A and B are shown apart, each in its own frame.
Chain A
Amino acid sequence: MMFDLFKRMARAPAFDAAGLGTEAIARPIASGCSLPAQTVGVAVDRAGHTRRISAGGRVNLLEGESGWCFHPGPYGCDLLPFAAAPEIGLRLHFAIDSPDPRVSQQRFDLFLASEGAGELGLAGFAARIEDALQRELAQGNLALPPCTTLDEWNAFRAGLNQLLYTRFGVTVDDCVPVDLRGSRDFARELRARALQAATEPYVGVAPEAAVAPAVARASIGTEERFDPGVADARALRRLFLELPCLMCRVRQAALPSGQALFRQQQALLQRLDLVCLAASTMPALALAAPGQPLAFDQQLRRARHSVQATAALDEAWALLARFELAEDQGLEALFDEADRIVANLEHATGERKLVLPQEAA
Chain B
Amino acid sequence: MSESMNASMSEAVCRSLLVDGSMLTITATRRPRGGRADIKCSAPGAPAIAARMQEVARLARHTEARHDSRDQVVISMDRAPGMQERDWELAVVLADRAVRGLLPLRPDTLALGWSEQWQRGRIDGIDARTAPAGALLGGPQGLRHLGALTGQPDAADAVSSARAWFPLHSGGINDSLCWVEVSVYPLEEGVPDDEAVGAPGLDSARQHAVRQALAGARHFDGEPAPRWRTTVRFGQDDFHGNSFELALVLADRLARGREFVPRGRIIASGCSSAWHAGQVEPVEGLAPKCALIEREAAPGDRVLLPRA
Assuming the contacts A85-B260, A146-B304, asked whether A361 and B37 have C-beta atoms less than 8 A apart, the reply is: yes
B140 on the interface (CB 8 Å rule)?
A: no
CA distance A194 to B159 in the complex (A): 8
Tell whether, in the assembled complex, residue B58 and residue A210 are in contact, meaning their CB atoms are under 8 Å apart. yes
Candidates A82, A186, A191, A204; contact of B256 at CB < 8 Å = A186
**For A146, what are the chain B residues with a Cβ–Cβ distance below 8 Å?**
250, 253-254, 259-262, 266, 302, 304
Return B84 CB to nearest CB of chain A, in Å: 14
Minimum CB–CB distance for A204 against chain B, Å: 5
A314 CB, nearest partner CB in chain B, Å: 12
Whether A344 pairs with B186 at a CB distance below 8 angstroms is no
Q: Looking at the assembled complex, report how far the CB atom of A38 sits from the nearest CB atom of chain B, in whole angstroms.
A: 37
In the bound complex, CA of A47 to CA of B69 (Å): 31
Known contacts A146-B250, A191-B186, A205-B59; decide if A197 and B257 are in contact (CB<8 Å).
no
Q: Chain A residues near B154 (CB, 8 Å)?
A: 84
**B residues near A1, Cβ cutoff 8 Å:** none
Indicate if B67 sits at the interface (CB-CB under 8 A).
yes
Judged by a CB distance under 8 angstroms, whether B152 is at the interface is yes
A188 with B261: in contact, given A139-B66, A210-B55, A344-B67 (CB under 8 Å)?
A: no
The smallest beta-carbon distance between A267 and chain B, in angstroms, is 14
B129 to chain A, nearest CB (A): 24
Task: Tell me, in angstroms, the Cα distance from A83 to B120 when the chains sit together.
Answer: 14
A290 contacts chain B at the CB level, 8 A cutoff: no
| Complex-state Cα separation, A219 to B64, whole angstroms | 12
B185/A88 in contact, CB under 8 A: no
Name the distance in Å between B46's Cβ and chain A's nearest Cβ: 16
Q: B residues 246-295 with Cβ under 8 Å of A?
A: 250, 253-254, 256-263, 266
In-complex Cβ contact of B65 among A135, A219, A340 (8 A): A135
The answer, yes or no, to whether B1 is at the interface (CB within 8 Å) is: yes
Q: A211-B55, A216-B59 are in contact. Are A190 and B260 (CB under 8 A)?
A: no
Residue of A with least CB distance to B38:
A213
Q: Determine the residue in chain A with the shortest Cβ distance to B55.
A: A210
Mark out the residues of chain B between 136 and 176 whose CB falls within 8 Å of any chain A CB in the assembled complex.
147, 152-160
Pairwise interchain contact A88-B155, C-beta atoms closer than 8 A = no
Select A85's contact among B69, B117, B147, B254, beta carbons within 8 Å.
B254
Of residues 116 to 153 in A, which have CB atoms within 8 Å of B's CB atoms?
Answer: 135, 138-140, 143-148
Contact A344 B69 (CB under 8 A): yes
| B116 interface residue (CB < 8 Å to A) | yes
Collect the chain B residues with CB atoms within 8 Å of residue A207's CB.
55
Q: Is B35 an interface residue (CB 8 A)?
A: yes
Which residue of B is nearest A187, CB measured?
B186
Contacts of A37 in B (CB 8 A): none
- Minimum CB distance partner of B65 in chain A: A138
Instruction: Given A187-B228, A205-B117, A344-B67, answer yes or no on A210-B54 (Cβ-Cβ < 8 Å).
Output: yes
Q: Is the CB of A190 within 8 A of B185?
A: yes
Q: How far is the CA of A210 from the CA of B53 in the complex (A)?
A: 10
B302 touches A197 (CB 8 A): no
Residue of A85, A186, A347 most packed against chain B (CB within 10 A)? A85
Contact partners of B263 in chain A: CB under 8 A: 138, 140, 143
Q: Which residues of chain B come closer than 8 Å to A191, judged between CB atoms?
A: 158, 186
Chain A nearest CB from B240 CB (Å) reads 26
The yes or no answer to A336 lying at the interface (CB within 8 A) is yes
Asked whether A65 is an interface residue with its Cβ less than 8 Å from the other chain, the reply is no
Q: How many residues of A contact B (CB 8 A)?
A: 53
- Would you call B116 and A84 a contact (CB within 8 A)? no
CB nearest to A337 among chain B residues = B3
In the docked arrangement, what's the CA distance between A197 and B159, Å?
Answer: 11
From 182 to 227 in chain B, residues with beta carbon under 8 angstroms from any chain A beta carbon are 184-187, 222, 227
Q: Mark A181-210, 1 if CB is under 8 A from B, else 0.
A: 100011110110110010000001101011
**Distance (Å) between the CB of B63 and the closest chain A CB?**
10
Find the B residue at minimum CB distance from A136: B65
A339, B70: Cβ atoms under 8 Å?
Answer: yes
- Choose one: A82, A187, A193, A205; the contact of B116 (CB below 8 Å): A205
Q: Given A146-B304, A220-B62, A344-B68: A360 and B37 within 8 A (CB)?
A: yes
Q: How far is the CA of A146 from the CA of B255 in the complex (A)?
A: 13
Q: Are A186 and B70 neighbours in the complex by a CB distance under 8 Å? A: no
Question: Beyond A140-B263, A220-B62, A360-B36, is A86–B55 a contact (Cβ under 8 Å)?
Answer: no
Q: Are B260 and A145 in contact (CB under 8 A)?
A: yes
A324 at the interface (CB under 8 A from B): no
| A45 located at the interface, meaning its Cβ lies under 8 Å from any Cβ of chain B in the complex | no
Contacts of A187 in B (CB 8 A): 186-187, 227-228
Docked complex: B7-37 residues within 8 A CB-CB of A: 35-37
Separation in Å of the B307 CB from the closest CB of chain A?
11
Given contacts A210-B55, A333-B3, contact A88 B302 (CB under 8 A): no
B233 at the interface (CB under 8 A from A): no
Q: How far is the CB of A140 from chain B (nearest CB, A)?
A: 5
Most B CB atoms within 10 A — which of A84, A147, A347?
Answer: A84
CB<8 Å pairs between A and B, sample of 22: A81-B260, A82-B261, A85-B254, A85-B261, A139-B65, A143-B263, A146-B261, A147-B302, A181-B258, A186-B160, A187-B228, A190-B158, A190-B185, A191-B158, A191-B186, A204-B116, A205-B59, A210-B54, A220-B119, A333-B3, A343-B68, A348-B69
Q: Which 9 A-B pairs have the closest CB atoms?
A: A210-B55, A138-B65, A194-B158, A187-B186, A360-B37, A347-B69, A82-B261, A84-B155, A193-B158
Interface residues of chain A, those whose CB is within 8 Å of chain B, are 81-88, 135, 138-140, 143-148, 179, 181, 185-188, 190-191, 193-194, 197, 204-205, 207, 209-211, 213, 216, 219-220, 308, 311-312, 333, 336, 339-340, 343-344, 346-348, 360-361
B residues engaging A (CB < 8 A)? 1-3, 35-38, 40, 51, 54-55, 58-59, 62, 65-70, 116-120, 147, 152-160, 184-187, 222, 227-228, 250, 253-254, 256-263, 266, 300, 302, 304
- Taking A146-B261, A207-B55, A210-B55 as known contacts, 4 extra A-B pairs with beta carbons closer than 8 A to each other, sorted by chain A number, are A146-B262, A191-B158, A194-B158, A216-B62
